Structure 1
Amino acid sequence: MTAAPAPLFILSFRQRDELASLAAGAGWQVVAARRIGGAERRFLSSGAAVAVIDARGAPGDGLAAATMLGGAVEANGGAMLALVSRGETVTIAALYDAGATHFLASPFSDTELLQALRFASRHAERMAREWQAGPAFAPLGWRYDLATRLLILTPGLSALLGIEDESGARALLRRLDPGDRAAALAALRRMTPARPATAFAHDATGMGRVVQHLQLDMAAQHIDAVVEPLGSAPEPAAEMREALAGARDAGSARRWLTRRLANAEVVPLHAMLIALNRFDMVNTAYGRAAGDALLRSAQKRIDDVVHEVLGRDALIARMSGSTFVVAATSLRTRIDLALERIVGELARPFVTGESIAVLGCRIGLAEALADDSAATLLRRASEALAEARDSDSATMRFADSRAESGSAPIDRLAVDLNRAMERGEIGILFQPQVSVSSGAIVGVEALARWEHGVLGSIGAETLFAAAARADLEIGLSDHIQKLVLAQAAAWPAALAGVRLALNLTAADIARPGFADLFLDRVDASGFPRNRLTLEITESGLIEDLSIASTLLSVLRGTGCRIAIDDFGTGYSSLAYLKALPLDYLKIDKKLAQDITGSPRDRIVVRGVIDMARSLGLTVIAEGVETDAQLEALAKEGCQIYQGFLCSEAVTTEVLLRLLLEK
């Protein structure tokens, strides 16, 4: 039977299609992208072990992409092939630091590119084999972390002694005879910053006479030891120093997970990937030494929480860069408690020299499934982490068998939702809508956010998915409408000219008597009807368009305006345009961002704008992030935009400052 094609991820800003066609013709299953946005998530979900970053002609974008993917490639034991323009030695060095493992300089032939892909693929296969089998030389040694007081054995010494690769220092000392134990303690006391190296000899069961060569590293706050059976010299090579990291590097973490997965237990195994926010900025601003010290401080905080909540048997490892993995066989309630504590600890400021750094973190969590390997478990955690990073402000994303990879645990959220409304955990933010011609803020869209104690900030899409699971859609919609109207009615006079856009759900529209109920709610709040725009989500299913048209006509007749939201993502776009009384058409962000893509993309967006304006509708583009997108949309006739180019969703206080700055 023919083997399935190996997946390959390609990110090329200018030659995506050409590279994809060449690789596909050589037997790869290609997932290709031309934009950085979402690249980490797409790489992880592709299942590829090799990522190609085409930095030719766009070294800045190429470096940004390599930096984004570097951690995921390293943490998942993959390879990164960077394509560069010949002579760009500075770019090559920066790409190497970002995580590139292979390079190919242009001009190159098709044959040379395919050969480079094969080399990168073999590298990834070799990494996978090494992580499963452990290091070939099985070195003997240990590392003692002075900050965490954690003793970590190399896999070779762990296997020889028949104990776990993480252990307490006392457990190892107890294996020595009293005389040898005294010699060991004396050697440890002899080490000082002025005299960092020493040694002592002792008898070891099964090994005979050995010498332990100790070295103190005050900068890194640890003691390393190489265990030398007499008659052989200690291994001085660099890989020995790496091996001394024990279970705190990516390879040993995988071996730890493999052992736990092989010994099926009743208590589930969870793995979480924890990525520090804004670490690169601190590292750049204060230097690598300060960055390393900050990483040690962060790991100390994680260690303290994990050992207190999950016990000493939990795995704590630094996977790559500023990303850590924590894994434990524990009940979900304990995992949730650990998550909440870790988020809180990493949100506290860090001292960096004479300055204060505030980092925070993003977390991806996965529960082991019956057929998981260490690689698949970590990959699902990586996908969840990528989702958390891509979100506006979510601290954590969960990937398990009950929900799609990268989504929040909907069943749990459904249980928590009713209590969240009672406790006031659901809040409202406002995203500005800006006139393309004048640059003035002319409106805002109200967006709901759930500040969950463990999962962080949860957006409206997940919030309403949880409400649907809990049969609370109408209750949640009523709750949000009351919150929005109450806040907007209390706006200061400076916001008197700003329109308010409020979303209505398909369930709202189907409710008998909703028009009267809603208008009473608006009037009771004191917010003017003629400054209110009601948005109907185009991707939501309205079963009876005639009922919806009648309802919206009533609301429109009282002064409200009607918008169709997320246009271009659903399946009934033209039917909605024909049947519903509309004033605004909002182009979905994915469609709006395509305006700077291929000529075909631009033609599609131009057609939507032309159609809307022919119907007398004002066009609003969502998700505008760059000046190039805005310029292209303006040329095609778009009148209003919203997106990160102006601002994310903000509080009333921040909105007022933005308005005064415009």
Structure 2
Amino acid sequence: MEDIQTATTLFAVSFRHRDDIAQTLAGAGWHGVVVGDADAIESRYLASGAAVALIDARGALDAALEATRTLGSLVATNGGALLVLVSRGDVEAIGEFYDGGATQFLASPAGAGELVQALRFAGRHAARASGCVATTGAVERRGVPGVSGFDREAGDARRWIADRIAADRPVAVVLASLSRLDIVNAAHGRPAVDALIETAVRRAQTVALEAVGVDAIVAWLGGAEFALIVEASGPAVTAAITALDAALARPFPVADAFAVLGCRFGVAQRQPGDDASALLRRASGALADAKASDGAVLHVALPDGVAPVDALAIDLHHAIELDEIDIRWQPQVEIASGKITGVEALARWDHRKLGPLGADTLFAAADRADLGIALSDHIQRLVLTRAVAWPAALGTLRVSLNLTAADIARPGFAALFLARIDESGFPRGRLTVEITETGLIEDLSVASTLLAELRGAGCRVAIDDFGTGYSSLAYLKSLPMDYVKIDKSLVRDITGSARDRVVVAGAITMARSLGLAVIAEGVETPAQLELLAAGGCSLYQGFLLSEPVGEAALLELMARE
């Protein structure tokens, strides 16, 4: 390839050393854009046309990590490279940057020559990534049109999409991002991680060959991300996602053991006016939303300019009667023993056109459609009915069920809710009700009375998303409760600065001093779990163990214990 410094535009972000970075690049003759903040970073990166992105994390670890997460999927989609410059004292954070989409790293202090050399290597990675595409041909196999062997040099994903759009064919992009690779890296090293990613891509290729039944390509995008792109729409796309999810959920052989990975998906289907770039951009944005979510592993992009809640509110009127609302269960684990002791029930909307949608989207649409109370009643009944029918292997698990602000404000809700529990046959003593801080701010006295009545009847009470509202200390002081759930945003930051750790440790200490158990949500890395355990947290939930799953997968997790 040509000399990378003249053939490629660099996009660099440096929060504390912008002038130094700009001077180093200028001295090397590199044509680049250097910015000192993350404002509108996505659009600025896209406008630069850069194949290589540099993020300088020295002295600004948290901001750099957030910028990496923002740019990671975009860099991967464009077939680029993302180099992160870290201080030597922060090398323990490399795993988080890797999960965020970084492809290369350089530890500082490093000379200008080392940085330029590292950027050259990143440029070579970008060149390889942009050409590493596997595609199906047009030969029939097993009677399925449009499926044949794979040719890694046969095409480019962007051009493949553009050709379908030019022919007015349906196209859908499914971006997949693997997680928990840091655990494999710590146990077996980077070669094992690379081999595992290759295996995952091959499984996706098998799905495209044998399960999709339409013309499709699989493209590795760099790092832990790849794309399944299909010439299809509607139910065929849902079937492709289901097949891919099942393939990636199977354990992966690593050395003499097996690893179970997490995976998040971003999906976009071709809409009028889309070109290849717009379609990939919407898929990338959906994947970023899935990564940011603690519950939903899949996000579907709606067309540009469409108000998602307005569009979904119309469909929600029919969702309950069409049985599109489902429940997933996220395990809650006792840190001391490693045992699953409970689950949080999380609603999912299996939309007939858009696929699975998370609880946040579901309830936002319900509020817009004035169906909040009806939806909450339906979910409560569904959770209790499912849980009471569990096999004996799940018969000791606690179930956490979320109540809404509308539930709290309903006159006589406590009696109605307790009657609903008793009618289902589920034991009150195994049920925990979770209330978010935002749901309590409206009327603290009403909330206190309701929670006292439920707690007195045998249920337990947890305050969800603790630490994100304005009245956290007042809640600890005034409300009857058993658990405090540390919000995922605080958990995510615990491996950042010493100040972040102090904030989380303070919240845990206050809760424990009042006799409350502490549950951390959104735990994704061993480093986060270690710090939470050291601070006195007793339970956790998050993708470190498992995403929200159905009953069958929950049984498998319990069996592995």
Per the normalisation by structure 2, the TM-score is 0.67
Q: Which of 504, 528, 535 is the equivalent residue of 1:605? A: 504
Q: Deviations over 1:65-93 (max 9, x none)?
A: 999988743643655447699xxxxxxxx
Q: How far 1:347 moved relative to its partner?
A: 7.3
Q: How far 1:45 moved relative to its partner?
A: 9.2
* 1:211 aligned partner: none
Counterpart of 2:234, as a letter, is D
* 1:588 aligned partner: 487
Counterpart of 1:364, as a letter, is V
Query: Within 1, Cα distance between the matches of 2:560 and 2:359?
Result: 28
Query: Within 2, Cα distance between the matches of 1:117 and 1:221?
Result: 29
Verify the 8 A CA contact 1:623 1:643 in the aligned structure 2. Answer: yes
Verify the 8 A CA contact 1:44 1:379 in the aligned structure 2. Answer: no
**Relative to 1, partners in 2 of residues 1:76 and 1:607: Cα closer, same or farther, differing over 3 Å?**
same
Q: How far 1:609 moved relative to its partner?
A: 1.1
Higher relative contact order, structure no. (Cα contacts within 8 Å, ≥ 6 residues apart): 2
Q: Does 1:650 align with 2:552?
A: no
Q: Which of 226, 230, 237 is the equivalent residue of 1:339? A: 237
What is the SS of the residue equivalent to 2:524? coil
**Relative to 1, partners in 2 of residues 1:9 and 1:400: Cα closer, same or farther, differing over 3 Å?**
farther
* 2:75 aligned partner: 73
Q: How far 1:342 moved relative to its partner?
A: 4.7
Structure-to-structure mapping, 1:155-234, within 5 angstroms? none
Question: What is the identity percentage for the equivalent residue pairs of Structure 1 and Structure 2?
Answer: 51
* 2:139 aligned partner: 147
Verify the 8 A CA contact 1:426 1:449 in the aligned structure 2. Answer: yes
* 1:109 aligned partner: 111
* 2:4 aligned partner: none
Q: How far 1:506 moved relative to its partner?
A: 0.4
Counterpart of 2:35, as a letter, is Q
**Relative to 1, partners in 2 of residues 1:7 and 1:383: Cα closer, same or farther, differing over 3 Å?**
farther
What is the SS of the residue equivalent to 1:569? coil
Query: Within 1, Cα distance between the matches of 2:407 and 2:37?
Result: 40
* 2:284 aligned partner: 382
Query: Within 2, Cα distance between the matches of 1:258 and 1:434?
Result: 47
What is the SS of the residue equivalent to 2:494? helix
What is the SS of the residue equivalent to 1:447? strand
* 1:323 aligned partner: 227
* 1:51 aligned partner: 53
Q: How far 1:453 moved relative to its partner?
A: 3.7
Q: Deviations over 1:407-464 (max 9, x none)?
A: xx43443333343322333222332323333334333222222333443332222221
Counterpart of 1:298, as a letter, is A
Q: Does 1:29 align with 2:35?
A: yes
Verify the 8 A CA contact 2:409 2:446 in the aligned structure 1. Answer: yes
Q: Which of 208, 227, 237 is the equivalent residue of 1:298? A: 208
Query: Within 1, Cα distance between the matches of 2:247 and 2:528?
Result: 37
Q: How far 1:377 moved relative to its partner?
A: 5.0
Verify the 8 A CA contact 1:31 1:46 in the aligned structure 2. Answer: no
**Relative to 1, partners in 2 of residues 1:369 and 1:603: Cα closer, same or farther, differing over 3 Å?**
farther
Query: Within 2, Cα distance between the matches of 1:386 and 1:422?
Result: 31
Counterpart of 1:76, as a letter, is N
What is the SS of the residue equivalent to 2:234? helix
Query: Within 1, Cα distance between the matches of 2:35 and 2:494?
Result: 28
Q: Deviations over 1:326-357 (max 9, x none)?
A: 68xxxxxx94355346546767989xxxxxxx
* 1:312 aligned partner: none
Verify the 8 A CA contact 2:15 2:37 in the aligned structure 1. Answer: no
Verify the 8 A CA contact 1:395 1:455 in the aligned structure 2. Answer: no
Q: How far 1:517 moved relative to its partner?
A: 0.9
Q: How far 1:578 moved relative to its partner?
A: 4.0
Structure-to-structure mapping, 1:88-103, within 5 angstroms? none
Verify the 8 A CA contact 2:388 2:425 in the aligned structure 1. Answer: yes
Q: Deviations over 1:374-420 (max 9, x none)?
A: 6455323322244456666655511433457xxxx434433333433
Q: Deviations over 1:539-583 (max 9, x none)?
A: 446422222222222222222222110112334433433443222
Q: Which of 468, 482, 486 is the equivalent residue of 1:569? A: 468
* 2:303 aligned partner: 400
Query: Within 2, Cα distance between the matches of 1:556 and 1:599?
Result: 37
Counterpart of 1:400, as a letter, is P
Query: Within 1, Cα distance between the matches of 2:203 and 2:505?
Result: 52
Verify the 8 A CA contact 2:518 2:539 in the aligned structure 1. Answer: yes
Verify the 8 A CA contact 1:343 1:360 in the aligned structure 2. Answer: no
Query: Within 2, Cα distance between the matches of 1:482 and 1:489?
Result: 11
**Relative to 1, partners in 2 of residues 1:20 and 1:381: Cα closer, same or farther, differing over 3 Å?**
farther
* 1:215 aligned partner: none
Verify the 8 A CA contact 2:12 2:53 in the aligned structure 1. Answer: yes
Query: Within 2, Cα distance between the matches of 1:275 and 1:428?
Result: 24
Verify the 8 A CA contact 1:44 1:72 in the aligned structure 2. Answer: no
**Relative to 1, partners in 2 of residues 1:440 and 1:364: Cα closer, same or farther, differing over 3 Å?**
closer
**Relative to 1, partners in 2 of residues 1:284 and 1:506: Cα closer, same or farther, differing over 3 Å?**
same
Query: Within 1, Cα distance between the matches of 2:285 and 2:428?
Result: 44
Q: Deviations over 1:618-653 (max 9, x none)?
A: 211112233332222122121222223343333445
Counterpart of 2:285, as a letter, is E
Q: Deviations over 1:447-497 (max 9, x none)?
A: 222333443332222221221222211111101111122233334555554
Q: How far 1:509 moved relative to its partner?
A: 0.5
Verify the 8 A CA contact 1:271 1:378 in the aligned structure 2. Answer: no
Query: Within 2, Cα distance between the matches of 1:258 and 1:451?
Result: 27
Between 1:525-534 and 1:513-522, the stretch displaced more is 525-534
Verify the 8 A CA contact 2:333 2:340 in the aligned structure 1. Answer: yes
* 1:503 aligned partner: 402
**Relative to 1, partners in 2 of residues 1:591 and 1:42: Cα closer, same or farther, differing over 3 Å?**
farther
What is the SS of the residue equivalent to 2:432? strand
Query: Within 2, Cα distance between the matches of 1:107 and 1:575?
Result: 46
* 2:537 aligned partner: 638
Q: Which of 454, 465, 488 is the equivalent residue of 2:364? A: 465
Verify the 8 A CA contact 1:394 1:455 in the aligned structure 2. Answer: no
Q: How far 1:592 moved relative to its partner?
A: 1.9
Q: Which of 340, 345, 370 is the equivalent residue of 1:446? A: 345
Q: Does 1:272 align with 2:172?
A: yes
Query: Within 1, Cα distance between the matches of 2:19 and 2:166?
Result: 41
Q: Deviations over 1:135-167 (max 9, x none)?
A: xxxxxxxx9955279xxxxxxxxxxxxxxxxxx
**Relative to 1, partners in 2 of residues 1:66 and 1:412: Cα closer, same or farther, differing over 3 Å?**
closer
What is the SS of the residue equivalent to 1:423? coil
What is the SS of the residue equivalent to 2:374? helix
Q: Does 1:419 align with 2:329?
A: no
Query: Within 1, Cα distance between the matches of 2:289 and 2:193?
Result: 23
Query: Within 2, Cα distance between the matches of 1:466 and 1:495?
Result: 32
* 2:420 aligned partner: 521
Counterpart of 1:518, as a letter, is F
What is the SS of the residue equivalent to 1:597? coil
Counterpart of 2:208, as a letter, is A
**Relative to 1, partners in 2 of residues 1:419 and 1:601: Cα closer, same or farther, differing over 3 Å?**
same
Q: Deviations over 1:279-337 (max 9, x none)?
A: x999948989x9789749827987x646xxxxxxxxx877655535568xxxxxx9435
Query: What is the CA RMSD across the aligned residues, in angstroms?
Result: 5.4
Work out the number of aligned pairs and report it.
482
Counterpart of 1:501, as a letter, is S
Q: How far 1:115 moved relative to its partner?
A: 10
Instruction: In structure 2, list runs of 5 or more residues that go unmatched.
Output: 1-8, 26-32, 59-66, 88-100, 128-134, 142-147, 182-191, 249-261
Query: Within 2, Cα distance between the matches of 1:657 and 1:538?
Result: 33
Query: Within 2, Cα distance between the matches of 1:285 and 1:605?
Result: 34
Verify the 8 A CA contact 2:136 2:149 in the aligned structure 1. Answer: no
**Relative to 1, partners in 2 of residues 1:546 and 1:564: Cα closer, same or farther, differing over 3 Å?**
same
Per the normalisation by structure 1, the TM-score is 0.58
**Relative to 1, partners in 2 of residues 1:621 and 1:531: Cα closer, same or farther, differing over 3 Å?**
same
Query: Within 1, Cα distance between the matches of 2:332 and 2:220?
Result: 40
* 2:430 aligned partner: 531
Query: Within 2, Cα distance between the matches of 1:326 and 1:381?
Result: 13
* 1:193 aligned partner: none
**Relative to 1, partners in 2 of residues 1:584 and 1:272: Cα closer, same or farther, differing over 3 Å?**
same
